[in-house]
Amino acid sequence: MSVLRIARVASYFLALTAACLMPAPPASAQATSGPASFSPKRLWDGKTPDFRGIWQAQGTAYVNVEGHSGGKGVAASSSIVVDPPDGKIPYRSDALAKRDENYRARATADPALKCYQPGVPRATYLPSPLQILQSPGNFAIAYQENHSFRVFHPDDRPHFDAADWWMGDTRYRWDGDTLVADVAALTDQVWLDQAGNYHSTDFHVVERYRLTDADTIVYEARIEDPMVYSRPWTLRTNLKRVKARNARIIEDECLDDEHGVRHHISPYDRDNLLTGEAWREKNVASK
C-alpha cells in the first residue's frame, strides 16, 4: 500500500471519529423497543420466527455508542445506551484512563482498522450488513465485516469459559418470539466502537433479537463486566431489512502491505482481485 493511500485511510478514520467524545444529542427513535404485538412469519415448522435475510443497522452509533455530534461526512448519532438513562457507559473510575488512552490512539489502535474481527455487540451496529441464516433448531449470522460469523448453539450446552475469542461463544433460547443469546469468552482486545470504549475478559453479553414488523429487528444487548463497569448496562438499536433486489453480503478482504500491516481493501478496488503477494508487489513497485 502506497504512503499516499495509507495517509488517505488514516485521514478518513480521523475525520470519522473526530467527534467521538462530544456530547450526545437526546435519545432518538432508533433506541425504541417497538410494539410487542407483531406476530412474525414462521419457518416451515410453523413455530420458529423467521429472521432470515440481510439486515443493516441505521445511523452512526458505530462511531461512539454513547452518541456524538457528527463530523465531516458523518451524521450525528444519539446514544444507543438506554440504561443508564443518561446514555453513558457506567465505567468504574479506575477504568476511564484506559478508555481515554484508546480514544487518543484511535486512528491507529482500533483493532477493526487492523482487520481483526469486530466482536459482540459491535458487529451488529457496524455500517456494513449482516445475513441471518436459519432453519428450525439452527441459527447463525454471517457478517460482511472481515468474514466474521457466529453459530448460535442451544443454551443447554455449557460455555467454553476458558476460551478467548474475537466473536465469543454464543448459546441461545427462545423467549416467545424473541431470540435470547448469551455470549461469553470474548477477548479483551475488542473495542465496542471507534471511540475506544472497551471491556475485559470478564465481559458477558445477553442479546435479544425481536421482530417488530416484517422489516425491523430491535436488537438489545445487556452488558456486564465488573472489572470495567460499575453496574450492568444496556444498549438498543434497530436493524432494517436490506430489500434491494439481489441483495447479498460481499467480500471484505484484508491484505498485508509491504510493512506486514494488514489493511481493509475495498471490494470495489481492482487490487482486491489480486492475490496477497501480487498485491504487495504491485503496491511496492508503484511507490
pLDDT of the residue at 26: 42
pLDDT of the residue at 2: 39
pLDDT of the residue at 7: 37
- CB within 8 Å of 103: residues ≥ 6 apart: 20, 21, 195, 196
CA–CA distance, 31 with 26 (Å, rounded to integer): 11
CB 225 within 8 A of CB 245: no
pLDDT of the residue at 6: 36
pLDDT of the residue at 181: 97
pLDDT of the residue at 16: 39
One pLDDT digit (tens) per residue for the chain, 287 residues: 333 333 333 333 333 334 343 444 444 444 455 556 899 999 999 999 999 999 999 899 999 999 999 888 899 999 999 999 999 999 999 999 999 999 999 998 999 988 899 999 999 999 999 999 999 999 999 999 888 999 999 988 788 776 689 999 999 999 999 999 999 999 999 999 999 999 999 999 999 999 999 999 999 999 999 999 999 999 999 999 999 888 888 776 677 666 666 666 665 565 555 555 555 566 655 55
Specify the DSSP class assigned to residue 105.
Answer: T
Dihedral of CA 283/285/286/287: which sign? positive
CA–CA distance, 31 with 122 (Å, rounded to integer): 16
pLDDT of the residue at 160: 78
CA–CA distance, 101 with 275 (Å, rounded to integer): 36
pLDDT of the residue at 133: 97
As to burial, measured by CB atoms within 10 angstroms (0-12 exposed, 13-18 middle, 19+ buried), residue 109 is middle
Q: Count how many residues are written for the chain.
A: 287
Parse the chain into domains and list their residue ranges.
3-241, 253-285
CB 199 within 8 A of CB 187: no
What does pTM read for this prediction?
Answer: 0.81
